[in-house]
Amino acid sequence: MTIFYIPTKIIIGRNCIRENADLLPALGTRALIVTGKRSAKTNGAEHDVRQALEERSIPAVIYDHVESNPSTTVAREAAELAREQHADLVIGIGGGSPLDAAKVAAVLATNRIDDETLFSNVFEQKPLPIVAVPTTAGTGSEVTQYAMMTNDKVRSKSFVISDDIIPRIAFLDASYTEHLPLPVTRNTALDALSHAMEGYLSKRATEMSSFIALESIRRLGRCLPMLRSGADLDFTAREQLLTASLLAGIVIAQTGTTALHAMGYSLTYFKKIEHGRANGLLMSVYLQYLLPEHQEEVMTVLGTLRLSGIADLRGLINDLLGNKERITEEEISAFSAIAMKARNIPFTLKSPSQADIEGMFRSSLLH
Ligand code: NAP
Ligand code: FE
């Protein structure tokens, strides 16, 4: 049996918000906009959203304090603002961090619940409807049922997972990503690549998810040489990256992620390494781990990326990431124990033991 579910209306193209503003009144009458601190103001996305709302006489308030890898504290502040202002629509603009904070704010605006209840994904009231405007090309959060929150209680990331937080509309205008700094472009592209690759190499993969995963990987394969050289990316290349990230999001919405993401969370939580970079640091050894039993699948991923083998991928990633962070043996044991508890570990094509996870950390990052 195959289930494929993607309820988001996806609108792609330059000026797509302004040209489709008519869709907004059906979703709400007062909006809460959720963004990070700066980029939404400088890349034009916040301006376009405000203008679209204004033209449709929808008043808006803004919560613009979302930092990277947000915790629920931030989402609670945004939800409080939504309640004060009687907002009935949440519009997230930004990378995965503001989009995920917007999703959780939409839940908390209608449900006064503690973190434990939140992470158990049981809400009595429907969350407010969500619109997503991605401004990085990486997380695919604009089409997923996930919101990742930093959770100090488990010293990692916890997910909120609910079909009710899948955005109703995703507006993808690549012009917002045109001035993304090179390191953010590289890191987020590696996040998208890890989504597509993990989805393809997942026990939950289906024919349809794999078909989409390979198309995402193919698009990324075309862009990676440009990212490697540091060349300026034009609008077409930016749109390729944004749609590759979208497709990879559609994939993980069906399959979830796997051990690679589970390992990456500790690098982000304890070492403050950006999410996509964390996945990138571990990507080659992860494929090496899967290779003996799953040679055909791994080689399909590499071939679709236009790479000849794992050594080729390692070279590419070394160029993309520069000097690697290092971790100690003590950190390896601690991080591996945490990774083993992650909910995405069982989806890995070849189930890893703690020793396997330790081995992957060691091969990539030991001092
Ligand atoms: P991010 O944390 O949202 O943003 C990283 C940086 O990029 C911020 O400094 C941000 O600045 C800046 N930025 C964003 N858009 C920009 C633009 N257009 N131009 C210039 N700078 C820009 O990074 P991310 O990698 O997109 O998201 C990571 C988060 O997503 C993590 O919490 C991760 O766990 C989560 N995630 C979620 C899913 C999901 O399905 N929900 C999947 C994968 C990852 P400002 O702060 O000023 O905006
Ligand atoms: Fe991710």
- Residue of the CA atom closest to atom 32 of ligand 1: 69
**Residues 62 and 31: beta-carbon distance below 8 Å:** no
Mean pLDDT calculated for residue range 187-214 = 98
- Dist. CA 352–CA 358, nearest whole Å: 10
- Residue 195 scores a pLDDT above 90: yes
pLDDT tens digits, 253-295: 999 999 999 999 999 999 999 999 999 999 999 999 999 999 9
- Residue 102 scores a pLDDT above 80: yes
For ligand 1, say whether the CB of 8 is within 6 Å of any of its atoms: no
Which band of pLDDT confidence, cut at 50, 70 and 90, is reported for residue 342? very high
- From the CA of 189, the nearest ligand is 1
User: What distance in angstroms lies between residue 8's CA and the mean position of ligand 2's atoms?
Assistant: 19
Report the Cα–Cα distance between both ends of the chain, in Å, rounded: 46
For ligand 1, say whether the CB of 145 is within 6 Å of any of its atoms: no
| Structure tokens that stand for 266 in this block | 């500790």
For ligand 1, say whether the CB of 158 is within 6 Å of any of its atoms: no
- Residue of the CA atom closest to atom 3 of ligand 1: 95
- Residue 123 scores a pLDDT above 80: yes
